Amino acid sequence: MKRVVSAFAASTLTLGLLSVSPTASAVPGCPDPSEAVPVATVFGNDHLPLGPRETVEVSVEMFARTSCLALYPASARVVTPARVIPVVVTPTQVDRETGFTTFRGTLVVDASHLLNADAGEWDFEFSAGDVSTVTRPVWVQKRTKLSFDAGPEPLRRNHRLTFHGTLRAADWQRSSYRGIRGQQVVIFALGSQTTPKREALAELQTKRHGRYRVRTEVAGPNRFQAVFRGGDLGLYQSLSRIDTVAART
């Protein structure tokens, strides 16, 4: 099976059925080809962030009408924004009572074998001949890292702070992280740990090499954090560390 990429899914989520192709013609031994593939499932989170060297396995399952398999062989594939990747499925169980065969397969998504253009919506398609089923899309995204610093510390009398940092995203083809420009970063004041109160202080765009910087007035000592909510190019969201700025003593 061709290796591709993906981050490990922490919990299992069944992705629902979206659409089925037009009805095929009936043939001897296959009275209802439109039900050749009545159900197909992809297991895993619907968002899969991947770092430059991360690998994840995505398990799939489909049911095909046994009597149709001679003329409508089972197959599966995933369509990324850049290409089509085959998924090998093999029969694991034949249920004589229901008349259906269960097929299972695993797609190994390896970031080091991905194109950067693969980031985004992945559609898993399951077919038996010309009868197909498409599941809800899975978003395979580049993992991001967001550095952050607030200063000067301690807080001066003018209550003005400079917030700065860098947004970097996984570059799968170079097996590294690189700065990403043109993405929105939001700076928040968090309040105290006992009485948290999240307040947006500034919104800004990352510049060259993913750097951002803004100077603004704050109400007083506080805890601060930068947030990237995800964006273009299949980028996954990320949070910076929390930086506490105390009052001058």
Q: pLDDT tens for residues 78-120?
A: 999 999 999 999 999 999 998 899 999 999 999 999 999 999 9
Q: Are 206 and 182 in contact (CB under 8 A)?
A: yes
Q: Hey, which residues does 166 pair with through a beta bridge?
A: 211
pTM over the 0.85 mark: no
Torsion sign over Cα 109, 115, 121, 127: negative
User: What dihedral angle (degrees, nearest 10) is formed by the CA atoms of 111, 115, 120, 122?
Assistant: -80
pLDDT less than 50: residues of the chain: 1-26
Q: What is the pLDDT of residue 8?
A: 30
Q: What is the pLDDT of residue 191?
A: 92
Which of 6, 31, 33 lies closest to 21 in space, CA to CA? 33
User: Do 17-141 and 144-245 share a fold?
Assistant: yes
As given in the structure block, the two tokens for residue 25 are 């013609």
What is the C-alpha R_g of the chain? 25
Q: What is the pLDDT of residue 27?
A: 52
Distance CA 144, CA 227 (A): 11
Pairing of strands 160-171, 176-179: antiparallel
Q: Are 108 and 156 in contact (CB under 8 A)?
A: no
Distance CA 145, CA 154 (A): 26
Question: What residue spans define the domains of the chain?
Answer: 17-141, 144-245
Q: What is the pLDDT of residue 68?
A: 87
Cα 214 to Cα 68, 162, 167, 201, 240, distances in angstroms: 64, 6, 14, 10, 16
Q: What is the pLDDT of residue 14?
A: 32
Provide CATH code, domain 144-245: 2.60.40.730
Which CATH number applies to 17-141: 1.20.1730.10, 3.40.190.10, 2.60.40.10, 2.160.20.10? 2.60.40.10
